[in-house]
Structure 1
Amino acid sequence: MLTRRTFLAASATAPLVFSRASGRAANEKITLGFIGVGTMGRGHLAAFLGRPEVEVVAVCDVVKERLDNAKTTVEKRYADRIKSGVYKGVTPYADFRDLLAHKGLDAVVIATPDHWHHIPCVLAARAGKHIYCEKPLTNNVAEGREIVNEVKKAKIAFQTGSQQRSEFANRFRAGVEMIWNGWIGTVKTVRIGVGGPSRPCDLKGEEKPAGTDWDMWLGPAPDREYSSVLCPKGVHTHFPAWRDYREYGGGLLADMGAHHFDIAQWALKMDTSGPTEIIPPENPKKGSGLRFVYKNGVTMIHNEFEKDKDGKEIAKADCVFEGTEGTLLVGRNQLELRMKNGNPTKFPDQPQRVYPSTSHPKNWLECIVSGKETICPPETGHRSASVCHLGNIGYRLGRKLKWDAVKELFVDDEKANKELSREPRAKWKV
């Protein structure tokens, strides 16, 4: 018996069938290369190795132990195919530019630190490779716009890794549809529960371990001594703290904010635009309470929730939507509707539905074949990252900012506009 549960489970893992009309042979596999095989990259590698539509042919990392580990992982998975001669092997690369030149490579998965998203994306697009890139898409606004422009010219399938749009038991998707269809009336306020902004890197230098190309790890970022906090030794299983430092990431504000602000802007239908004002709290150093104001009148608040008379938070979640008729709490393990007066009673005759996707990787692979746009294309990924960048800038400058989302510039604010880009080290200009 086919149920909703079994249907969704089956559709999330079903292999693709290539039609000959797509220009690919019916049994042709999509060849993948992986740029960055740390904790996140290994997770992606395991997921894609489990998909019969793809064949992993190349891996890349700046740490030799990780590179060797990834190569071994692929070879173990494809052991039977290696023995039969069907699979020709996986090539390890220390430089992603060499990986991009790998003969017959169709697509790349980029899971590097945030400061290393922009250049691989640009060069991969110029090389005509389809791209799956981790979020946040970039480390500043200017980088994101360049990726969008390059992908548009290349006409490739690009997926930003904001997988809450596809996964987590459809909670976020359901939440967005509930907002779109007026379940809580008109949304007035959105509260996003993520950590604080980035800070300057002040870590002490350490002796660089053998087998680590530290200069390559730094890439476009400023030169500094090696730190195991930024680039752990060997094969690690945790998420390194480079994300806390503005030279390499945007703090937890961007790290998880790229997920949750993405859902909020999707629900507000602002995911290809952005706010008009950024208002920091009276004390920006506390790292919470910054407000984004949108042209539709909605205020989005970073990591500050309403409290009762005893100081207890009334409603807290990854995303809290407060409307005229109720409140919706949405999270990876939460979907809760709190109405002011009973259950929702007004429903549209033709409800609005979100883009159908139950697997982020599968959606990307389908779009490689079909030529359709992914559920999180570069413009959307860029706008979701941008709101995080704007928040970081607001906390740093500590004053109200006006934002032109069309021009992607602060209004009459030269100092703030200098924060929108960063000059890379000379050898990494693209």
Structure 2
Amino acid sequence: MDTYSRRRFIKTTGGALASAMTAGLGLNRQSPGSPAERLSVGLIGCRNMGFGLLQHALKVPGVVCRGLCDVDRNVLEGRRRDVEKQTGETPPLYSDYRKLLEDQELDAVFIGTPDHWHCLQTIHALQAGKHVYVEKPLARTITEGELIREAARTYGKVVQVGQHQRSGAHWQKVVGMIRDGHLGSLRTVRLWANFDYGKGPERLPDEPVPEGVDYDMWLGPAPKRPFNQNRFHGVWRFDWDYGGGLITDWGAHLLDIPLWALEIDGPPQSVSSVGGIFSGEDRAIDMADTQSVVYQFEDVNMVWEHNGGLQTGPYERNYGLAFVGNRGTLVVNREGWQVIPERDGNQPLVREIPFRESGEGGHGAHVANFIDSIRTGAELNCPVEAGRLSAFYGHIGNIAHRTDERLRWNEAGALIGRDRYEHLITPQYRSPWQLPRL
């Protein structure tokens, strides 16, 4: 039986599930220990998102920065000054994350590096006995995500994936409404992400490695290539060696919501994709800037769309989700949500709910949940399996597009004809780096 058919059970138990989910956050509980219990954390990848996570962590009583690691000395020095300003303390600096992990006093690390580094750094941190908060998507490939899942089970440490929407109150509310069957039987879940940056960066010539950058370490397990600014800070995700484009960037967040709400825990029956580079601009991009992906389940479709270079979209939102049911449609993004009823003549089939702004939650709450889980055993809002699954759905959309084939899974959840796609499922690491073995 397809995993999605479990929705019939969910409809009758959704209220209890939603209540349990909210109660499990652990953010407002009283810790049985001191709220100022010392927790030493480090950061690997300091430029943008990673440093924002560290700033949130340092606002939690008892959390101290034990070290900063980055391959760009210019970034590293700037972040050292930022930490000094926030805490009054000077953290040790590292250019090689493995040296940071040797610190026996280090309890946990935040990983904010490009996707091609997530697998090695997460697993090495777990092997060193550290708890891990790793940014999304969990991994650059399907096999790497599976390896991280196994490592989390093997080493028994807390691993939070940075899909921070799960710590947002209005996302929890929406998930509860879907599980309660508020919209009736679902027909389609639409997801879209229209962002200007999705058309890719400008084309630039290769150039010498900037002073202070350990470029070989930045590449790590990825293939050896000349340095290029449009494959470096902030724009690497449109190159297949490092990322997967909009569907693994924003898709890790948006695809996660229906998987969470419908309790989907396996692959779809099939997935197909169409698209291409349709922006009309000559940009540095390896993947489709315009893409549609259809995920087919037993009794519902899930449709992903992105249009890089555009900033408008359905329901006057440039990104979001629409749960389309027989009784109405629920539209949601980070700004808020609403319910649009279907009608029988003039009679609405469900109560209309005008747009409601989002409530509390986000990166700060997600980091707090991670720290609370380390200290008290509180339930994680986004454990490894949730991160692995949303990344998996992004990856299979890309694989379907790159191969121009409709991928199908058998009743046991195995990809039919997997051998044909293995080169896209399992990466080949550049020596001396090796794919972890557990």
1:194 positional shift? 2.0
Give the equivalent residue in structure 2 for 1:171: 170
Residue in 1 that maps onto 2:220: 219
2:358 matched residue in structure 1: none
Equivalent of residue 266 in structure 2, options 270, 273, 295: 273
Residue 422 of structure 1, CA deviation: 0.8
2:66 corresponds in structure 1 to 57
SS of the residue aligned with 2:226? coil
1:313 CA displacement: 4.8
Using the size of structure 1 for normalisation, the TM-score is: 0.81
CA distance in 2 between partners of 1:398 and 1:381 (Å): 26
Report matched runs for 1:34-113 at 5 Å: 34-79=43-88, 82=89, 89-113=90-114
**Residue 17 and residue 174 in structure 1: after superposition, are their counterparts in 2 closer, same or farther (change >3 A)?**
closer
Q: 1:409-428: CA deviations, max 9, x gaps?
A: 52024222331111111211
What displacement does 1:383 show? 0.5
What is the distance in 1 between the residues matched to 2:27 and 2:173? 20
Does the aligned pair in 2 maintain the 1:205–1:226 contact within 8 Å?
Answer: yes
Residues 13, 382 of structure 1: alpha-carbon distance in 2 compared, 3 angstrom cutoff: closer
Q: Write out per-residue CA displacement over residues 42-79 of structure 1, whole angstroms, 9 at most, x where no aligned residue.
A: 21122122221311111100000111112122222222
The runs of 4+ residues in structure 1 deviating greater than 6 Å are 11-14, 196-199
Q: Secondary structure at the match of 1:288?
A: strand
Q: 2:295 maps to which residue?
A: 292
Give, in whole Å, the separation in 2 of the partners of 1:48 and 1:385: 25
Share of identical aligned residues, percent?
A: 32
Unmatched segments (≥5 aa) in structure 1: 1-7, 83-88, 233-239, 306-311, 346-356
Aligned-partner SS, 2:255: helix
Give, as a single letter, the amino acid of the residue that structure 1 aligns with 2:115: D
CA distance in 2, matches of 1:38, 1:49: 16
Residue of structure 2 equivalent to 1:237:
none
Cα distance in 2 for residues equivalent to 1:37 and 1:183: 43
Q: Deviations over 1:370-404 (max 9, x none)?
A: 23441111111000100000011111111211135
What one-letter code is carried by the residue in structure 1 that aligns with 2:372? E
Q: Which residue does the alignment assign to 1:391?
A: 397
Aligned length: 379
Q: Distance in 2 between matches of 1:229 and 1:12?
A: 41
**Counterparts in 2 of 1:204 and 1:55: CA distance versus 1, 3 Å:** same
1:178-198 deviation digits (Å, cap 9, x = unpaired): 111111111110111125999
Given the superposition, is the C-alpha separation of residues 198 and 315 from structure 1 closer, same or farther in structure 2, using an over 3 Å criterion?
closer
CA distance in 2, matches of 1:361, 1:414: 39
SS at match of 1:290: strand
Q: Structure 1 residues 226 and 190, CA, compared in 2 at 3 Å: closer, same or farther?
A: same
Task: Give 1:29-428 correspondences, 5 Å limit.
Answer: 29-79=38-88, 82=89, 89-167=90-168, 170-194=169-193, 204-232=205-233, 240-270=234-264, 272-281=265-274, 287-294=290-297, 296-303=298-305, 313=314, 317-341=319-343, 342=348, 344=350, 359-403=365-409, 409-428=414-433
- Who is 1:85 aligned against? none
- Residues 278, 291 of structure 1: 8 Å contact kept: yes
On the 8 A contact 1:56/1:90 being kept in 2, the answer is: yes
Provide the C-alpha distance between the structure 1 equivalents of 2:425 and 2:320, rounded to a whole number of angstroms: 27
Q: Residue 337 of structure 2 aligns to which amino acid in structure 1?
A: L
Residues 129/313 of structure 1: CA separation in 2 closer, same or farther (3 Å cut): closer
Q: Is the Cα–Cα contact under 8 Å of residues 328 and 349 in structure 2 kept in the other structure?
A: no
User: Structure 1 residues 373, 147: CA separation in 2 closer, same or farther (over 3 Å shift)?
Assistant: farther
Q: What letter corresponds to residue 19 of structure 1 in structure 2?
A: P
Cα distance between partner residues in 2 of 1:183 and 1:358: 30
Distance across 2 between alignment mates of 1:339 and 1:372:
37
Deviations 1:335-391 (A, max 9, x none): 01011132637xxxxxxxxxxx98111111111122344111111100010000001
Shift of 1:303: 1.3
The amino acid that maps onto 2:192 is G
Return closer, same or farther for 1:102/1:414 CA change in 2, 3 Å cut-off: same
Which residue in 1 is equivalent to 2:17? none
Q: Could you say what secondary structure the match of 2:110 adopts?
A: strand
Aligned residue for 1:291, secondary structure, equals: strand
Query: Which amino acid in structure 2 is aligned with residue 164 of structure 1?
Result: Q
Structure 2 Cα separation of the partners of residues 157 and 363 of structure 1 = 11
Query: For the Cα contact (< 8 Å) 1:198–1:252, is it kept in 2?
Result: no
CA RMSD of aligned residues (A): 2.9
Give the partner amino acid of 1:33: G
Cα offset for 1:241? 1.1
Length-normalised TM-score, structure 2 = 0.80
